[in-house]
Every structure is written in structure tokens, then in C-alpha cells.
Amino acid sequence: MDGTQTQAHRIPFNRVACLGRERDYLADAVASGRIGGGGPYSARVRATLERALGVPLALPTTSCSDALEMASVLLGIGPGDEVVVPSFAFVTVAGAFALRGARIVFADVRPDTLCLDEERLAERIGPRTRAVVALHYGGVACEMDAVLGLAARHGLAVVEDLAHGPFASYRGRPLGSFGALACLSFHETKNFSCGEGGALLVNDPALARRAEIVHEKGTDRTRFLAGAVDKYSWRDLGGSYGLSDLQAAFLLGQLEQRETVRDRRARLWRRYDAGLAAWAEAHGVARPAVPAHSGPPDHLYFLVMPSAADRDGLIEHLGRRGILAVFHYVPLHLSEMGRRYGGRPGDCPQAERAGARLLRLPFFTTLSDAEQDEVIDAVTDYVPRPAGSGRCGAD
């Protein structure tokens, strides 16, 4: 599901590459002897994210899942609370809050963007709801005006899941700057990577001081390192959430190339869309939709096939040509854990449709035009069963 290679493919789903000064920075970190968390490279990653995203505080973390866990701790989520999450999402989007004892409530996604369906969100909110996770699927923005409006009316915290879309925007403003908190991923399958890594963006100033404590194992070590206190001690709940400086060094090299990376990936997205449009229209295959006020997508390119059999058939067809395409999330409400929270078939029809019929094509920064053309040719050689047609959501 995460694009892990299980067999040799000539054109893999994902390929991580050094794009700038990653190796130099890594060697420098090793030579400096400072490779733990909270070192100089972490500080530079933090400053880069804060500046580029216009957020007051960015804490580099061991993963996006851990940033989500931090969010759960910071919001004081506990037994008796409910958290609304999109069903078409990665497991830890729910698991981070379940770990703190929350009841998970699953919301459906829009048929066109596969982001949280803002029109159906209200029906999932009840007296115990404390927070909602807005996952910007594929780096395409959720309808943040509607989500934030609803959250404000009900007194809910919004946590943005920005694993797919760092540096993407909504109405010209960076994603990650809208919710009280936002979570980024730097896992190897993401646009920028250090193997495993993430960041927590803290927009609510009331949470900032505590966020630094939770991040530092529940201690005030950050203030100690800044010379504000003469020793540090256990102050609150917390975990070992800081990214090591080895990983931060590699990550900084990647983040510094963000303009090149974004341009290249946005171009790949447009080439897929243009190259597959006629075939998709002819065969009832839905392509991703991008609302005008969402920044250009650059994380993944998906197709929603007319049937689950067609989806599996196309993955096999591409596999025979040495191309690895992959499906994505198993809807959370249908998972073993999701059913324990009351999830039933039919609860989130669009998540179920995407879970059964969506596939993602190879998509990585160093995918060459020739490789991409080969993927496009292979896809357009495939003939699904006839059905409706159009953009995602039109069928």
C-alpha cells in the first residue's frame, strides 16, 4: 500500500534520489559528532519549514504518525472523546487518537478529490466530538473554508494531515497553516524524504510551549538548551518524538531543492493527465479533479477504474510490462479495528469505491519523460469494461 517494492520492476512505483546536498550534509553531521535530536540540522529544517509554510512553530518528528500522536496528546484527547477522520486514510490518522482512548468516527470523502467531504461532515459531529482530521489527499486541499467554519461552530480542533502536500496551497495560502496543528511526513514514499520522518506544525499559540515539552519526552529540555532554565525535568506527558540530526541533515538537502522538486512533479502530474485523458474518457475511468483554488498537485497520480476487477487487471497488466502500480488505502471503517468502532459496509461509499477501484501510477521526482511515456503507453493499451466516463466523481 505504501509503494514498497515487492518484486523487481523496471519502472518502480517510487525511487528515492539525492537531489542536492544530502550527502554533504550527512557527512558534515557525522563529522560534527552531533547526530542526536534537536541539533543544528534539526534547527535548520525547523527554520526552513517555518519560513516556507508561514507557520510559527515546526517541530521535526520521527514520523507523521508520531506528529499525529503528539497532536492527540496536545489536544488532551481521552476516553469519552470522539475524533472524526476520513475513512480513506492511512491507519495512524485514526490510530494516533485511538491510542489515547478516543472513539473514532469515520467520515466519507468527496468523489472527485477524495478529500474529506465537507458537505457530509456535519452529520458525523456530535456532542462528544473534539477534533477533526482534514487530510489533503494527494496534496489537493480539503475545502478548508467549510471545514474550519464547521469546526468553529462546534468548538472542534482541526488537525491537517499534510503527509501528501507540503508546500501546496488553498486559496493562495500554504496548507498546514490552517488547522490548530498540522502533520507532515518525510517517509521514503513522500515528495521529500529522510527515510522515516515528519514534522508537527503548531499554529495555535496556546499549544506551542507544551508542544516543545511533549516533543522532548515530556521535559523542558528545549528551554534548558536555550539557557532559560538551569536544569530540565519531567513536566508533562511526552515521547521521544525528535528527528535525529543524521536524518535532519539528509532532509535539509531535500527541502532545499523544493522549487525544482515541485516543478518537476507538477509537470509529471500534468503529463499523466494529458496523456491519459482521451483513454480515460473513452473507457469510463475517472481521473483526479483539482478545484481551481487548490494549488497544483504534485504528490501522486491516481485513476479510479470502472470496477475492482479492472483495477486489479490494470495493475497486473502493468506488472507484466515491468511497471509497478499500486492501490491505496483499505477504507478504515471496514478494517478490523474500524469495525470495533462501529464501521459497517455502506457507511462511507466513496471511500469504499476508492478502496476497491483506485490505483496509483509510478510517481517520483526522477521519473524520466521516457519512463513516463512508457507507463502512459502501457495504460492506454489496456481496455477496461465499458462504463460511464469523465473526471473522478462523474461516474
Provide the annotated active-site residues: 190
Query: Are the beta carbons of 93 and 120 closer than 8 angstroms?
Result: no
Q: Are 50 and 59 in contact (CB under 8 A)?
A: no
Considering beta carbons, is residue 100 or 187 the nearer one to ligand PLP?
187
Q: CB-wise, 115 or 378, nearer to ligand PLP?
A: 115
Rounded to the nearest whole angstrom, what is the least distance from the CB of residue 320 to ligand PLP in the complex?
27
Q: Which is nearer to ligand PLP, 164 or 217 (CB)?
A: 164
Spatial neighbors of 36 by CB under 8 A, at least 6 apart, are: 242, 244, 245
**Rounded to the nearest whole angstrom, what is the least distance from the CB of residue 65 to ligand PLP in the complex?**
3
Neighbours of 289 (CB within 10 A): 18
Interaction between residue 64 and ligand PLP (CB under 6 A): yes
Residue 187 C-beta: closest distance to ligand PLP, Å = 4
Q: Which is nearer to ligand PLP, 4 or 366 (CB)?
A: 4
The 73-92 site mask, x for binding ligand PLP (CB under 6 A), equals ----------------xx-x
Which of 100, 187, 333, 360 touches ligand PLP (CB under 6 A)? 187
Cell reading at 56: 510559527
CB neighbourhood size of 342 (10 A) = 12
Number of residues near ligand PLP (by CB under 6 A): 15
Q: Which residues of 359-376 are buried (b: 16+ CB within 10 A; e: fewer)?
A: bbbbbbbebeeebbebbb
Provide, rounded to whole angstroms, the least separation between the CB of residue 372 and ligand PLP. Answer: 22
What is the rounded distance in angstroms from the CA atom of residue 16 to the CA atom of residue 188?
A: 7
Tally the residues of the chain: 395
For the CB of residue 121, give the shortest distance to ligand PLP in the complex, in Å: 18
- Given the complex with ligand PLP, which of 214 and 378 has the nearer CB atom? 214
Label the pairing between strands 82-86 and 157-161: unpaired
Kindly state the smallest distance separating residue 334's Cβ from ligand PLP, in Å. 17
Nearer to ligand PLP, 169 or 193 (CB): 193
For residue 310, which amino acid is it? D
Q: Would you count residue 191 as binding ligand PLP (CB under 6 A)?
A: no
CB of 64 to ligand PLP, least distance (A): 3
Chain residues 92-121 in contact with ligand PLP, contact rule CB under 6 A: 92-93
Q: Provide the residue type at 1 as one letter.
A: M
Binding mask 150-169 for ligand PLP (x = CB under 6 A): -----------x-xx-----
Stretch binding ligand PLP (CB under 6 A), from 18-26, 31-39, 61-69, 254-262: 61-69
Q: Which is nearer to ligand PLP, 160 or 310 (CB)?
A: 160
What distance in Å separates the CA atoms of residue 121 and residue 130, rounded to the nearest whole number? 14
Segment near ligand PLP (CB under 6 A); pick from 18-26, 43-51, 62-70, 308-316:
62-70
SS3 content of the chain, % helix, strand, coil (to 5): 40, 15, 45
For 63-128, strand residue ranges (E) read: 82-86, 103-107
The β-bridge relationship of strands 173-174 and 129-135 is unpaired
Q: First CA to last CA across the chain, in angstroms?
A: 25
| Cell numbers found for residue 20 | 542536492
201 lies in the site for ligand PLP, by CB under 6 A: no
Nearest of 224, 185, 164 to residue 38 by alpha carbon:
224
The site for ligand PLP (CB under 6 A) is made up of: 2, 63-65, 89-90, 92-93, 135, 161, 163-164, 185, 187, 198
